[in-house]
Structure 1
Amino acid sequence: MICPPIYILWSFLGRLLPLVGQDSRISHEAGKYALWLIPGLFSLKLLTRFL
């Protein structure tokens, strides 16, 4: 299942982006945005399973 690795990646996105050269303010906001996307990740998995 692909959800747990993406969940881990998205939860640490705010800390990982500065390591690849992204501005710290942008990476902080991107990390907050990614945290809001995590619940949709699991619901998308359920939706694609039944379609």
Structure 2
Amino acid sequence: MQTHDLIGLSKSAIMRHFEGAVEFLHWLYLPTLGLILSFDKQICCQVNPLPNH
């Protein structure tokens, strides 16, 4: 799955797909990919890589 494929998906769908996802209010951390996802109304609207990952 490409990072741009995550935009538009629901938080619950992403969490089912990635084990170890960590939820923080409007964000979701995917440690296996080193990504922080931002959500608006439970839909992914932005994907950001963590620095030095």
TM range (shorter): under 0.3
Please give the TM-score of this superposition, normalised by the length of structure 1. 0.27
Larger Rg: 1
Q: Which of the pair is proportionally richer in helix?
A: 1
Which structure's relative contact order is higher, taking Cα pairs within 8 Å and 6+ residues apart?
1
Q: Which of the pair is proportionally richer in strand?
A: 2
Please give the TM-score of this superposition, normalised by the length of structure 2. 0.27
